[in-house]
Structures are given as C-alpha cells and as structure tokens.
Structure 1
Amino acid sequence: MFQKKIILVFLGFFLSYNSYGQKKDTLAIKIKKSKFTTKKYNPLSPSKAAFYSAIFPGGGQIYNKKYWKAPIVWGAIGASIYYYTTNSNEYDRFRNAFKLRKQGLKDEFTDSNGDYIISTAGLENAQKVLRKNRDLSLLTGVLLYVLQIVEASVNAHLLQFNTDDNLSINPTISTDPMLIESPKVGLTFKYSF
C-alpha cells in the first residue's frame, strides 16, 4: 500500500513537469530577424569537433562550448589509465614472485622462516585476475576515448538544429466529468510550423 502511494506521488510530480526543447542560446548565428529566424549552417563543425576530440580528449567538447563535459571526459579516461597502471604493476609483482618461486628462489611473499604467505596457486590466480582487470581497464579506456569523439561530433551536429519551445512535451492529468474518481493520464505533444 505504501509503495502505491509513492508511485502515485512520483507520477503526480512527473506529470506536472513541463519539458521543453533545446534553448535558443546555441552556437548558431542568426542571419535575419523575422518571424522565422534562420541559423548559419556550418557543415565542417562536426568534423572539427571530432578532430579536436581525437587530438586532445575533451577538446571537441570545449570546441562545442560545453565546458562542463571536458572534466568528465578527463576524469573518465584518467580513471581507466589509473586502473590500468595499478593492475599492470600488481600483475608484474605477482608474476615476478611466481617466476622466482618456480626457480626455487625466495620471493616477496615468503617470510623469513621460508613459509609461503601466498601459495603458488594463489599467485597463479592473482595473475589471472589482475591480467583480466588490466585488459578490461584498457578496453574501457579505448571505448571512453572513442565515445567522447562520437559525443563531440553528434553534439556539434545537434547544435545546428533550429530548436525552440514550439516543440514541447507537456504531460497532463485530465479529469472526466462523468467519472470523477478515476483521472485519466496522458501526454500532449505540441508542435507548430
């Protein structure tokens, strides 16, 4: 019963919220002032944004004047580089210990009495896990790099569209005078040319 009330409150807030199209303060330049304003179309803008992002991660976002996205890109790629180097260093550490143990020498996971702190099977398992984590970190970094290039290009494309508040979604609750107990929920789509 409590969950139904929470869902109804959430739906009430959602349906009373008006969402609108993109604001008019984009990169486009207005050529003439009239009822129908047109924007200057730059076909090279998406390719420039992609080029800047490929050369310097976050550069395309800065070119698109979406400055808040650049630190997100830097943090995401930096985190994947951090995890790659950490996992790679740990993998090398366990790999060297495993090689020394196979040659019958003392490694860093053997105490002064000659007892093993980590077994040989444990060293092998740690190598497998760390290698997998290292490879996943590398794959994540490459994917994030490619995604930020695609995002900059798509954003540059979308900035050239003439969007305003004429295209909006306005969720409403309408009541039926015959059935007052059960309100009807719906969406209103409004567009004008």
Structure 2
Amino acid sequence: MLNKRFYILLLCLSSALFSFSQKDKDSTNIELDKELILIDKEVLTRKEIDPLRPSKAAFYSAILPGLGQAYNKKYWKIPLVWGGIGAGVYFYVRNDKQFDRYRDAYKRRLAGFKDDEFYNVVSDDGLIRAQEQFRRNKEVSLLVTIGLYALNIIDANVDAHLLQFNVDENLSLRPHYQYNQMENTSDLGVTVNFKF
C-alpha cells in the first residue's frame, strides 16, 4: 500500500515537472537594431596564432635551459632556471667528490695502507656508511637536476600556449541580473558572446 502511494506521488511530481512550457520569447533577450550597432575596426584586429610557438619554446629550452623563457619574453624566469639547475649540478659534483674521498680511503685500507686521511678518525664501517650516504645524495641531486631541466621545458611550452590564449572582448562570458517588470520577477542568466 505504501509503495503504491509512493509511485503515484512520484508519477504526479514527474508529470508536473515536464508539463511546464517555456516562454515563446526569452525575457532576457534584447532585440537591437542592426543600424545602431557600430563596429570599430580597431576592436577587430587579431593577432595571428602561431601553432608551432609552444614546440619552438620547448625545443629552445631543451637546447639551452632558459632560452625558451627568453623566446616567450619571460626574462625574469631565466635566473630561476639557471639557479635551480646550477644548484642541482653543484650538489651532484660536491657529493661525487665526497663519495670519491671515502671510497679511495676505504680502498687504501683494504690494500693494507694506513695513511689515508680518515685513519684514526673513521672506522671501516663508517667509511662504508659514508659512501652509501654520499652515493644516495649524489643520485638524489641527479634526479632533482633532471626534474628541474624537464620542468624548464614544460614551463616554456605551457607559457607559450598561454601567451596565445584569446581573452579579447570578441569572446566573453558574463553573468547578468535583470528585473522583469511584466511578471514582477527577477531573471538570472549567463550571456555567452562569440563575434566572428
């Protein structure tokens, strides 16, 4: 019995939803005289879109980090790119030198020499742990450097895409509010303008 009432109520609600008809004329639609519309020639000037610009910027950044940013005229990013990649290279070289020092000292101890720079300071196990630590740091530095190099290329590509993004008045999306005096209601809406 309860299910039957529920289905009847559901049927009545769905028929009520679909029984309303739309107005013949939208109250937010404003008819304008074609004679009143004046188009300024300066508004309609358009920039040419170069479809190869993003790939050129990415290629230039792959050849020399920062060159793609210069191609996009984002000169303030060049020191950031060079600083990031330079820091990664610096830490890689520094950890590599430290790794070589501890490895050479350990090799000399295995050969029976007792004249390495860490002889009375670091044990054999300490030399092994130091080698592992500096090798891990060297690998992390290499991964960070490669990641920053790839980020440099991606940044140049995305920035070149966004430079060509169309944001002029010929393409716009505007919310609007209008009071309808005839029906004593207010209308909310969104206006999408495309001018070709």
Scaled by the length of structure 1, what TM-score is found? Answer: 0.65
Aligned partner (choices 120, 123, 128) of residue 119 of structure 1: 123
Partner of 2:117: 108
Indicate the structure (1 or 2) with the bigger Cα radius of gyration. Answer: 2
Q: What is the letter of the counterpart of residue 117 of structure 1?
A: V
**Contact map agreement 1:61 1:70 (CA 8 A) in 2:** yes
Query: How far off its partner does 1:86 sit?
Result: 0.1
Q: Aligned with 1:68: secondary structure?
A: helix
Q: Larger RCO: Structure 1 or Structure 2 (Cα < 8 Å, ≥ 6 residues apart)?
A: 1
Query: Could you say which residue in structure 2 is the equivalent of 1:40?
Result: 48
Aligned to 1:49: 57
**How many residues matched?**
136
Give the one of 79, 96, 104 matched to 1:96. Answer: 104
Secondary structure of the corresponding residue to residue 161 of structure 1: coil
Task: Work out whether residues 88 and 130 of structure 1, in 8 Å CA contact, stay in contact via their aligned partners in 2.
Answer: yes
- Give the CA deviation at 1:167: 6.9
Aligned to 2:95: 87
Separation in 2, partners of 1:34, 1:105: 84
In 2, Cα distance between the equivalents of 1:38 and 1:192?
20
Partners of 2:71 and 2:191 in 1: CA distance: 31
Correspondence for 2:22: none
Q: CA deviation at 1:33?
A: 4.2
| CA drift at 1:148 | 0.5
Change (3 A) 1:162 1:37: farther
Q: Which residue of 1 aligns with 2:31?
A: none
Unaligned 5+ segments in structure 1 are 1-31, 111-115, 169-189
Letter in 1 for 2:100: D
1:185 aligns with none
Distance in 2 (alpha carbons) for counterparts of 1:44 and 1:191: 33
Deviation of 1:103 (Å): 1.5
TM-score norm. by structure 2 comes to: 0.64
